[in-house]
Structure formats: C-alpha cells, structure tokens
Structure 1
C-alpha cells in the first residue's frame, strides 16, 4: 500500500497513539504508588481506560493537525497527579516517577516491533491481514519513540527536566524548576523553528536503522515505509 487515505491514516494511528499516551501516564501513577503516593490511585487515574486520560487538545487536536500537515506526530494526555510530599524520598523518588513514563514507551515500542515483524511476515506470505497489522506496528514504534525521546529532553515540565531537577543540588534544582511554567512554550518554539526536529532526528534515525535491521530491509526502505504513514 503506497498511499493511505485520511481515514486509513486515522485508523492506523488511533490505537497506537491512545496506548502510547495512556500507558505513559499510568506508568507515572503506578510508580508513584509503589513509592508511597496514592494520589493517582485515589483519583482513578491508574485505569487503562483512555477516556480518563484524554486531553482534548493534546490527545485529539494536536496529533490530528500534525497528521494533516504530514509532520511527525506527538501528543499528550492529562498529567497524572503526583503529590511530591507523599513520596518516601521525594527528591530521588520523583526521578523514578518521571522515568516511568518514557520506560513505558520503550516497552510499548518493543511490543509494537513484534507486531510489525509478525505483520511483515504475513505480508510476505501473501496474507492480506498482515498489511494493517504491519503498518499499525510501524505507527506504534514511531509514536512511542517520539514520546520517549521528547520526554527525556532535560527541560521542565518534560520527564527529563524532572529528572534533572531531582539530581541537581537543591538550590540549582529549584532554579531549573522555575522554567516549568514556560517549558511548553519553549517546546512549541523549538518545534516551529525546526530546532526540535534537529534535536530528535539523530535518535529517530537510529530507531529507523534498528527497525530496518529488525525487518531485514534497507534503511531507505524502512524510512519510506514510515513516511507513507504521514
């Protein structure tokens, strides 16, 4: 399948995007629970029901616009609430809570890689069911790779920024945390000027290379398959 209609693209991307952002947030809440904070659990945010985590802008509008524009797709869900003071070791535990989200994206990316591999095998065997399975697997790999690498950037309120605040000495960490109210606008600015793409492209190119080796195809073929999803 060389070209997809908008409806086909929506079908391919919907499940991977919903899982990627939902499990990312649930992972934060789950780790917080293990480290002593029950806030997310008490508010019902440890549910795998996507409706409990959907942010109308970040989950629907932004990914939809990016899909229409043909750019790389990312989004976000409603942040899972974490009560810093409830954690057993608030400063260090917050780093583990933050890392749980990208960790979940890594795990999901590996699962989708298996789905893509199985779908690719079915396609080669002439089974028509393999094609949607294969492309949905590719979409799952891509959205989880983007969310993982994006969230690991050392900029509050991204997960990497929270890790940075946790590992820096008290006063310096507090100064970095003051960036948080402006972090989202910084990200939008980096995206608008193409800087965010430059930052993420080496990591995403590595993802494409690994994918190519996993499927037994060339880098160019893997990149072409991913590009067909936009």
Structure 2
C-alpha cells in the first residue's frame, strides 16, 4: 500500500470494495447525525442558533463542508461542525449536555449496528430460523457493513471524548474543570489545546482503532454465546 486509500483498500484481499463503500457511507451518515444531535440538544436547551444558521438539515455539505468531503475522498477521514451559542442556552449544565449529545449519538449508532449484526449473522446462516437462509454475497456484505458501522462509531465516540479542544471531551472538561477552562480561554490556550488534539489523534489512533475492533468482536461473540449460536 502507500497510494490512494480507496484504490489500496478496494484492491485489498482483506478489505475490498464493500469495506470502502461501507466506510464512506458510515462516515458521512455518522458525522451528519453526530452534528444534528448537537443541534437537537442545543435547540432543546433554548439556543436557536442551529436552526437560524440553516444547519438543521440532512445535507452533508452543510455539516461537513467541501474541504472535509474532499479530505474524506483523499485520505478517508472527515469532520463536521454545528454552530451553537452557549450564552443562549438554559440550564447550568446545558453546554456540557449539548457537547455530550454528539458522542451519545455515536454510541447509539454503534449499539444499533451491533444489535442488528448480532441478529443478522445467525439469521442469515439459518441458525435462528432453520427455514431462513440468506445467500452470499448479501449475507457477508451486510455483515461487513454493520461491523464497519459499529467500529467507526466507537472510534468517533472515543476520539470525540478525548479531553482536548475543540473536541466534545475538551468542551465537557472545560465546563466542569475551572483551571482547564481558564487555560483554553487564555491567549494561547486554545492553540495549545488544538495541538494536543493533533498529538492525541496521531498517537491514540494506534489504540482507538484496535480497541473499537476488540469491543465489536467481544460484544458479538458474547451475545452469540448467550444466544447459543455460532454464525
């Protein structure tokens, strides 16, 4: 490998076209829903900014922007943003709640993908209902799609909860830890925190992706064992 990621993964015996398509679909859907969760929470807390700015939409271009979508095509990663105004929110913990809503959405998406995967695999193989079997390639392709969705959303959950600005974890930490809040509000604090985020991203990737894969395998194997199936 070493060329364009889509070409490398597409031609990889371990990954292939289904993985590439699954990754692209899940990245876009997960980021859009992550940002919409921030928006829904902000509206609930009394801040109309997401609606006023036109961000309460399903359009990925609005949430991710052209540069992020180009980055997704070129290097396989992307990001999004939801404008909010904490000064217009009601409640002492409103800002933290809005920040936590995005990772909570990723947790929900990961859980949904895992539940469907746990049911789908033994159903498709005929272990749940002997009269029902689903042939390849649909059986395996959907399993790959669900595994990618679960893994990616666990990665997004863990990464976004890292305590560095402007990640959600950094905003939550700044809300509850006064010295950290004063630090990020200082003249160079935000830039230092963003630098730390990049360091986290560079080094934590070696931990977060394997951890997410391990969680997916462990949860599915445990649930299949409890169900008495081995798809």
Alignment TM-score, normalising by the size of structure 1: 0.76
Give the whole-Å Cα distance in 2 for the aligned partners of 1:107 and 1:75: 20
Q: Find 1:130's aligned residue among 129, 139, 152.
A: 139
Q: Does 1:3 align with 2:25?
A: no
Q: Within 5 A, what are the aligned runs for 1:61-80? A: 61-62=71-72, 64-66=74-76, 74-77=77-80, 79-80=81-82
Tell me if the contact between 2:160 and 2:169 (Cα under 8 Å) persists in the aligned partners: yes
Q: Within 5 A, what are the aligned runs for 1:68-217? A: 74-77=77-80, 79-89=81-91, 92-125=93-126, 126-127=133-134, 128=136, 129-169=138-178, 172-178=180-186, 179-192=189-202, 194-198=203-207, 202=211, 205-216=214-225
Give the whole-Å Cα distance in 2 for the aligned partners of 1:60 and 1:214: 38
Tell me if the contact between 2:18 and 2:141 (Cα under 8 Å) persists in the aligned partners: no
Structure 1, residues 82-127: CA drift from partner, whole Å, max 9, x if none? 01211123x6211000000000001111111123224313442341
How far 1:202 sits from its partner (Å)? 4.9
Give the whole-Å Cα distance in 1 for the aligned partners of 2:164 and 2:110: 23
Structure 1 residue runs of 4 or more that deviate by more than 4 Å after TM superposition: 199-204
Aligned length: 205
Q: 1:59 to 1:207 in 2, by over 3 A?
A: farther
- Where structure 1 has 5 or more consecutive residues not aligned to the other structure, the ranges are 67-73, 218-230
Give the whole-Å Cα distance in 1 for the aligned partners of 2:73 and 2:222: 28
Q: Within 5 A, what are the aligned runs for 1:19-98? A: 19-62=29-72, 64-66=74-76, 74-77=77-80, 79-89=81-91, 92-98=93-99
What is the root-mean-square deviation of aligned Cα atoms in Å? 2.8
Give 1 or 2 for the bigger CA radius of gyration.
2
- Where structure 2 has 5 or more consecutive residues not aligned to the other structure, the ranges are 1-12, 127-132, 227-231
Secondary structure in 1 matching 2:57: coil
Give the whole-Å Cα distance in 1 for the aligned partners of 2:225 and 2:140: 17
Alignment TM-score, normalising by the size of structure 2: 0.76
